[in-house]
A and B are shown apart, each in its own frame.
Chain A
Amino acid sequence: MDRFLASGRTRWIAFAVLVVAIGIVPIYAIPYVNYQLALIAVAAVSILGLNFVSGYIGQLSLGQSAFVGIGAYAAVFGVQQGWPDILIFLFSCAASGTIGLLVALPTARLRGHGFALVSLALPIVAIPLANRFQAFTGGATGRSVDWLHAPAWSRLADDQWRLYIIALIAIAFFLLGRNFVRGKFGRALQLVRDDELVASANGVDGYRARVLAFTMSSIFAGAAGFMYLLAVQYVTPNTMAFLSSLYLIGALVIGGRASVVGSLFGGVFYVAVPVVAGQIDASQTTLIYGAILIVVLFLVPDGIVSIPARVSVLVRRLRRPSPRKRGIT
């Protein structure tokens, strides 16, 4: 899929379609649809960040939801202080990124399961911490905000205006992410994943790569947290629940590991599956989610992003029988 996007013409076509769609859909869609699209954008940016660590550098991280929460609470703080929105956004990214860096510096020395365990510890510890600092976080009830209304001159409803802003941020971060993974940093990450010894022989330090990936991942999560607060106008410690991190990993793999476009598909999966499960039977959502996850993973083990490639392989095979069938061994 990324190879397809590399082709210049199709890249522009895809981009144009996306821009047009984002431009007109919010005007016509009902608030519920706009809200879900906003949540998809939040999930997609979170998953893209997570992809740096878990996809590109191949290191399982179970703590992304904690960083999203940090970004959201940072935004709450900014809103309460009455800061301009740009500053709030930067603060969300910076708060999350700084904590990510501080965590990454010692943690990146660990590998494999140790790293995963520490990442798991983050959401587990974040919730009681958030409960404790009640004055700031509003405790278990969380904080509600009434923030960023559509300006009068736009003649837009609040949900439309917010979706535009969210979409803009998401597009910007996707472009940023794409440039990051295509550049030398991205290649370095994949080299570290595939064979760390070879990487270090080539002058790429695994430790620094992991720190970088994890910090970038938390910056993205911070942005996602800002977007989350904008869409939901409410944050609770439960936002950072460990289960959300598990669902994010699941969505990441279903969307496509180490793939920018795959992260977008992952975002769609993350939001859509609970809705579908709720429609089938609201009382058994966990069971249905698990079943869907298994089935989809079985059908597309390399993620949704691999579908076009698989389809074209299938088409090719249908047109031309495989050599085996002709009796060649």
Chain B
Amino acid sequence: MGQFIQLVIDGFANGSIYASLALALVLVRRSTGMINFAQGAMGVFTTYVALLASNGGAIPSPVAALAALVCGFVVGAFLQWGVVRRFNVRNAQTATVVSIALFMLVTGICGMAWGYVVRDYPSLFPNAVLPIGPAVVSVQSLGTAAVVIVVVVLLQLLFYRTKLGLSLRAVADNPESSQLVGMNVARLLMVGWGLAAVLGALAGVLVAPKVYLFPQMMDQVLVYALAAAILGGLDSPIGAVIAGWIIGIVEALAGVYVGIIGSDLKIAVPLIAIFVVLLVRPQGLLGRKEVARV
């Protein structure tokens, strides 16, 4: 029983990690209409910047993390303005290839600047564990989950209570009409990417203490984040987070309790589960149903 509880707790913790990057994916999707395969790599880059900013521990890690977030906004806006804008990303194939190219570019820059060495990254939270019955949970996981929940709330506020959020949604939904009513579409797209990159940067500093910092750090996390985002319904932050938790827990339990799956194939289970869910509910758990007008 103790092992079961531990697995659920750990699955929940890892789910928060997947959710943190999934939120960035949801944001870029909602504000610019595309899926950004480079989101994880951009988060890695900003985490390296945070490491530089922390100056070997001289600067406290929350301050360094803040630097990462600011850097994230700048990088995201810059990439949108400098690269993404110059392509027809309404076309799904083009958008995919552009973001794949950015993924390679950013990963390559990290590799060139900092090498492929695995580095320590200090956590924002203290390194303690708390007992929960026969199991333990780390303060870091609790902190990560808390941050993720706060971000979800902020995103909901942004999209539904602010003019900026409304503008972002309008631009993603119908850029031509938005332009016609006088919105600065170009600037809004930059802001969208910038904000998404901020979330990606946040994901980076939350994840790096656990998985250690190296250029490919987010590669596999991206797959989980994509899965969480799609399962949750691509435009729903709440859905992405809940989906992330579900994926984390299902994966952990299946790997241990379903003998034929085993620990090496455990990733198959959430993917199959998502497949089944999408068959029944193509819009994901909390996504909006697509209606085609005839």
Contact = CB atoms under 8 A, between A and B. Distances in A.
A121 B268 contact: yes
Interface residues of A, number: 46
A252 B100 CA distance: 13
Interface stretch (B101-109, B136-144, B169-177): B101-109
B166 interface: no
B203 to A, nearest CB: 19
A8 B211 CA distance: 60
B271 A117 contact: yes
17 contacts: A54-B93, A112-B92, A114-B282, A117-B230, A117-B275, A117-B278, A253-B96, A284-B112, A287-B104, A287-B107, A287-B111, A288-B108, A290-B102, A294-B83, A294-B105, A297-B101, A301-B94
Contacts, number: 127
Contacts of B94: 253, 297, 301
Contact of B279 (A54, A110, A113, A284): A110
Interface of B: 35, 37, 83, 86-88, 92-94, 96-98, 100-109, 111-112, 223, 226-227, 230, 234, 262, 264-265, 267-268, 271-272, 274-275, 278-279, 282, 292, 294
A129 B97 contact: no
A124 B230 contact: no
A304 to B, nearest CB: 13
A106 B279 contact: yes
Nearest to A122: B271
A294 B95 CA distance: 11
A129 B101 CA distance: 29
A60 B92 contact: yes
Nearest to A295: B101
B267 A289 contact: no
Nearest to B83: A294
Interface in A224-274: 242, 246, 249-250, 252-254, 257
Nearest to A129: B265
Nearest to A118: B275
Given A286-B104, A290-B101, A253 B93 contact: yes
Contacts of A294: 83, 98, 101-102, 105
Contacts of A301: 87-88, 94
Nearest to A111: B282
Nearest to B231: A117
A128 interface: yes
